Amino acid sequence: MPDRRRADARRNYARILAVAEEEVAAHGADASLEQIARVAGVGSATVRRHFPSRRALLTAVSRGRIEALRVRAHELAAEDDSRAALLAWLNDVLAYCVAARGLAAALAYDSAASDPVHDNACAATLQEAADPLLRRAVQDGAVDPDVTVADLISLLVGIALATEHGPDPAARAGRLFRLATAGVGAPRGDERLSKRLLGVQPPHRVDVRGEG
């Protein structure tokens, strides 16, 4: 009997997760837990037993994409141009956030948490993966030493959430990303941020190709 209960629990988990992925893709982070339960054919209590919070559900839905971004960070660490490598990875994170509804919310830090960075499993994984990219860019003088990975993730989350409901989220997110990253470079003498922003090249569309 215990083995059967465990098998039933595994089937329920897989079914709930599959439905959750569809609902989050359709409705974003505000997908109804009650609707997920109805479509999965289980009770709301069963959903909450497997996923005690909305963040836990979004974390599970986003797991594959987070792993892909972790691997991508390791690949880019071998690139010669440290700033270009960091910016390429940030672009990939933003592209996933734009293409996969719910990912930005999964990465958002909870300011009420005792340790906002490490209490967020998705963000903590990306922080660990991106730390070497950022450290190398800082050592090369390509990025302001005051910039942290948490800063950059917060920036990307803000851009993704701000553009999510617009007519062309990818184009708008791409523009904001280029404007923002013009200001994270290492200071050059008395050069002001506003002056650097004037030199931004015309924005390119964020590449949203990748996993669902």
- Rounded CA-CA distance 72/62 in Å is 15
Say what the pLDDT of residue 200 is.
Answer: 33
Contact 24, 58 (CB under 8 A): yes
- Rounded CA-CA distance 32/169 in Å is 23
Say what the pLDDT of residue 100 is.
Answer: 86
- Rounded CA-CA distance 73/90 in Å is 9
Say what the pLDDT of residue 188 is.
Answer: 54
Supply the pTM of this predicted model: 0.76
Say what the pLDDT of residue 164 is.
Answer: 87
Contact 106, 55 (CB under 8 A): yes
Contact 102, 17 (CB under 8 A): no
Would you give per-residue pLDDT tens digits along the chain (212 residues)? 456 667 878 898 999 999 999 998 888 888 899 999 999 999 999 999 999 988 899 999 999 999 999 999 999 999 999 999 999 999 999 999 998 888 888 898 876 555 665 678 899 999 999 999 999 999 999 998 999 999 999 999 999 999 988 888 889 998 999 888 876 555 554 444 333 333 333 333 434 334 44
Say what the pLDDT of residue 202 is.
Answer: 34
Taken in order of first residue, the domains within the chain and their CATH numbers are: 8-52 (1.10.10), 54-182 (1.10.357.10)
Say what the pLDDT of residue 9 is.
Answer: 83
Which amino acid makes up residue 77?
Answer: A
Say what the pLDDT of residue 28 is.
Answer: 83
Which amino acid makes up residue 138?
Answer: V
3-state secondary structure 136-190: HHHHCCCCCCCCCHHHHHHHHHHHHHHHCCCCCHHHHHHHHHHHHHCCCCCCCCC
From 133, 129, 206, select the one nearest 169 (Cα to Cα): 206
